[in-house]
Amino acid sequence: MKKLGNSNKKLGFISVYLLGVNGIIGSGIFLLPSKMYALSGIWSVAVIFFCALAALVLTLSYAELASRSTGNGAAWLYAYDQFGEFAGFEVGLFIWLQGVVTISAETAAFLTALKLMVPQLSDPFLYKATGLAIILGLTVVGIMGNQVSKYANNIATVMKIGALITFVIGGLFFIKMMNFSQPVTHSLKDYNSAFNLIFYMFAGFSFLPVAATKMENPKKNLPRILLAVIISVGVIYMITMIVAIGVLGPEIVHNESPLAFAFAEKYGHIGRMIMSIGILGSILGVAISLSYSTPYIASSLAREHQLLPAFFGKITKSGTPWVAVILTTCICALLFLSGDYLFLVPCTVFISLVQYVVTSFAAMKVKKKQKDPKTATDGFNLPLGYTFPILSLLICVYMLMNFTQKVIIFGVTTIVVCVAFYFIYRYFKNKKTKTVAK
C-alpha cells in the first residue's frame, strides 16, 4: 500500500526483491496455519502452492500495465487510463478501503497473538476495548510522520523474518513424520475455503510490479523479479507450514497462534516468549506502517488527482490529512467491532478483488491496443495474447464463489455504497461547476 515517490533513481534487483518479499509476508503465516490445517489438513501445503500460482498470474497483468504507465502505477491509474473517471474513482476508493480493512485485520491479529501471553483477552469486552485503544494508538503514531512509519516497517521486517527463521530452524529438530500420514477427510468446499484464506497471505503482491518498473531494464527484469518474489514467498510459506504440521500434527487446529504454541511446547516459557515477541513486533510494525500510509492514499486521490471528494484531501498546517485520518480510524473501529480476525481476512480479499477484476480487464484492453501500431506502446508484453488476463478473471470468479454468505453481504454492500457515493459526488461536483459557470 505504500506510495512510490517520483524519483528517477533506479532500484537494483536485490532491493526490489527484498521490497517484494517484505511487502507480501504479513500476519497470515503466523496465525492462519491452524485454520488452514482444519480446512485442508496436510494438503494445505499444496493449496499454498496453488495460491502462489494464482498470485503470479494476477501479478502479470499488473506488470504489463505498470511497464506502460507514466505515473506511479497504482491500479486506480490503470483503471482511469483505460475506462475513465468512474473506474478510477471506484478502484482508488477500494484501494484505500483495502488498507482500512487490513489495519482492522492486523489489529485483530495482534490481539489474537497476544492471547497466548494475556489469556484475559478471551473476554469479549476486554478484547474489543483493547482493540479500539490500539486503533486509536495507531492513529496517533501514524500522525507522527513518515520517520516513525519507516522505523516501524524496518523493525517489523527484521522481527518477522527473524521469527520465521527461528521457528523453522528450531522446529526442524522436533518434526514427526507420522504427522504427515493423516487420512484425508476434507470436502471440496473445505479446500475452496482454504484457498481464499491462504490467498490473504499473498495480497500484498499488487504493488510489486510498480516497484519493479523502477529497475534497470524493466522490460527484461519484470518477469524475473515477479517469479523470484512469488516463488520465494511461496517456498517460505510452504516450509513454515510443513514444520508447523510436523511439530504439532492435528494439535495445530486447537491454537490461534500455532507457531508460538509449537515453540512453547518444545522450548517452554522462554520459547513462547521469543516467538510471541517476534510475531507481535512484526504485526504491530505492519499495522503502524499501514496506519500512516492508508490515509495518504485517500488524501492523494483527492488533492493530486481529483478522484475523490475534496474534503478527503483536507490537511493541517503540518501536512497531515486529518479528514482522511479520522475517516480511516472510524471505519477501522467499526470493522474491528464487526468481526474477528478470521472474518476480516476474507473481507480484505473480497475488497481486493475489485482492483484485480478491473486490472485484468484493463490488461485485455491494452492487449487490444497493442495490435494497432498507432496506439501501441513500449513495455513488458505478456505472452499468449489474452490468456493471462482471462485466467486472472477466472481466478477472481473462483474466489468469489468461495466466500461465506456473511462476507458476500459485506462485499456487495460495500460495492453498492461506493457506487452510490460516486454518483452523489458527481451530482454535487456538476452542480458546483454549473454554479461557478453562471
The model's pLDDT over 65-81, given as tens digits with 9 standing for 90+, comes to: 877 766 555 788 888 88
Ranges 20-24, 91-95, 266-270, most confident: 91-95
Grid-cell match 484485480, residue found? 356
**Would you say residue 4 lies in a domain?**
no
**pLDDT-wise least confident of 9-18, 93-102, 125-134:** 9-18
The enclosing domain of 243 has a CATH number of 1.20.1740.10
Q: What is the mean pLDDT of residues 384-413?
A: 94
- Grid coordinates belonging to 40: 485442508
Q: Which domain holds residue 397?
A: 13-437
Q: Which tens digits make up the pLDDT trace of 299-319?
A: 888 887 788 888 888 888 878
**How high is the pLDDT of residue 11?**
67
Longest CA span, the chain: 80
**How deeply is 311 buried, as exposed, middle or buried, from its count of CB atoms within 10 A (0-12, 13-18, 19+)?**
exposed
**Would you say residue 418 lies in a domain?**
yes
- Which position has the higher pLDDT, 384 or 345? 345
Relative orientation angle of helices 258-303 and 218-248, to the nearest 10 degrees: 150
pTM for the full predicted model:
0.89
**Would you say residue 137 lies in a domain?**
yes
Q: What is the mean pLDDT of residues 128-139?
A: 94
**How high is the pLDDT of residue 19?**
77
**pLDDT-wise least confident of 170-184, 214-228, 383-397:** 214-228
**How high is the pLDDT of residue 110?**
94
DSSP string, 370-405: HTSTTT---SPPPSSTTHHHHHHHHHHHHHHHHS-H
**Would you say residue 84 lies in a domain?**
yes
pLDDT tier for residue 200 given thresholds of 50, 70 and 90: very high
Q: What is the mean pLDDT of residues 318-342?
A: 91
**Would you say residue 135 lies in a domain?**
yes
Q: Which of 354, 363, 357, 361 minimizes the C-alpha distance to 418?
A: 354
Contact 44, 188 (CB under 8 A): no
For the chain, give the mean pLDDT: 86
**How high is the pLDDT of residue 434?**
67
**pLDDT-wise least confident of 186-195, 262-271, 354-363:** 262-271
Contacts of 71 (CB under 8 A, 6+ apart): 77
**pLDDT-wise least confident of 260-274, 317-331, 374-388:** 374-388
Number of structural domains (the chain) is 1
Please check the confidence at residue 215 and state whether its pLDDT lies above 80: no
**How high is the pLDDT of residue 417?**
96
**pLDDT-wise least confident of 37-41, 114-118, 260-264, 305-309:** 305-309
**How high is the pLDDT of residue 301?**
86
**Would you say residue 281 lies in a domain?**
yes
Q: What is the rounded CA–CA span in Å between residue 149 and residue 24?
A: 17
**Would you say residue 1 lies in a domain?**
no
**How high is the pLDDT of residue 31?**
93
Please check the confidence at residue 137 and state whether its pLDDT lies above 70: yes
**Would you say residue 381 lies in a domain?**
yes
Q: Which tens digits make up the pLDDT trace of 6-48?
A: 445 566 778 778 878 888 888 899 999 999 999 999 999 999 9
- Which position has the higher pLDDT, 63 or 245? 245
Ranges 138-142, 215-219, 233-237, 261-265, most confident: 233-237
Please check the confidence at residue 286 and state whether its pLDDT lies above 60: yes
**How high is the pLDDT of residue 437?**
58
Rg (CA), the chain: 22
